[in-house]
Amino acid sequence: MFQRIRHWRVRRIVARHPIPDPLWQAALAQCAPARRLGASDQAALRVLATLFLREKSIEPVQGLVLDDADRVLLATHACVPILKLGMDWFDGWHSVIVYPDAFVPRRTQIDEAGVVHQSRTPMAGEAWGRGPVILSWAEVLRAGQRPGHNVVIHEMAHKLDLQNGVANGFPPLHRRMDPRTWTEVFSGTWEHLRSEHRQGLPLPIDPYGLENPAEFFAVVSEQFFEAPGALREHLPQVYRQLERFYRQHPY
């Protein structure tokens, strides 16, 4: 009964609030991971983007104005990772706050000596536990311009990671996935890349992924969708685990 009610609700939302075809085609033109999908997957992604626009509040700030095409583009990027997972994976949060450019959150930290420090580091995106996703619109528009980079996918990967309650690079795995294999692959690869970075060797991913396991998962998720061939070539074990987790084969 619950499944029938949910399917009826989805059909009603899609029927009442369809994404106009010109806006959808414009989003596909600007979102390479969506553009590479087959027709049936693009149709499923369009449904998810429609639900995202109804269930999440997109809130531009600091004078930024987002039109319908902008909102459809953002929703399209956001739903790429959940194409085979479903909207349930985005439960527990409700808003996307969008700044015109990099934003500078004010953070207070207390060191071991008890000294209070104010941190003001420019950021392109952020995902809070049960809170909002925060994005720089300038960075959203740069998706794909640098190989493997997509700030929306990066922050949505954090949201998936947080479904376990904490961002640690270990999202809830599917029933037939082996947690030990995931840990061995991700931890081993992360440590190996950190060692290579200390030696000054070139890395196959953005060095930001070496900050911690959560950032590593988000960075390789970006590359999985934006530059899958490079990820499969350089980090094949990581690619295979992400293939099983996202249930997609982008390359």
With respect to residue 251, please indicate whether it lies within any of the assigned structural domains: no
With respect to residue 107, please indicate whether it lies within any of the assigned structural domains: yes
Residue type, 15: A
Q: How far apart are CA 51 and CA 187, in angstroms?
A: 35
Kindly report the average pLDDT of the chain as a whole number: 90
With respect to residue 131, please indicate whether it lies within any of the assigned structural domains: yes
Where in the sequence is the domain holding 224, given as residue range(s)? 2-246
Q: Which of 130, 149, 153, 137 is nearest to 103 (CA)?
A: 137
Q: Which of 155, 121, 122 is nearest to 140 (CA)?
A: 155
Model confidence pLDDT, tens digit, residues 98-148: 999 988 765 545 545 544 444 457 778 888 888 899 999 999 999 988 889
Q: How far apart are CA 33 and CA 7, in angstroms?
A: 26
Burial of 22 from C-beta contacts in 10 A (0-12 / 13-18 / 19+): exposed
Q: What's the whole-number mean pLDDT along residues 228-237?
A: 97
With respect to residue 78, please indicate whether it lies within any of the assigned structural domains: yes
Q: How far apart are CA 182 and CA 169, in angstroms?
A: 10
pTM for this model (two decimals): 0.90
Model confidence pLDDT, tens digit, residues 68-88: 999 999 999 999 999 999 999
Q: For the chain, what is the domain count?
A: 1
Q: Which of 117, 139, 116, 145 is nearest to 126 (CA)?
A: 139
Residue type, 167: A
Q: How far is CA 164 from CA 94, 139, 160, 221, in A?
A: 18, 27, 8, 17
Give residue 116's pLDDT: 45
With respect to residue 108, please indicate whether it lies within any of the assigned structural domains: yes
Residue with the bigger pLDDT between 10 and 84: it is 84
CATH number for the domain that contains residue 215: 1.10.472.150
With respect to residue 182, please indicate whether it lies within any of the assigned structural domains: yes
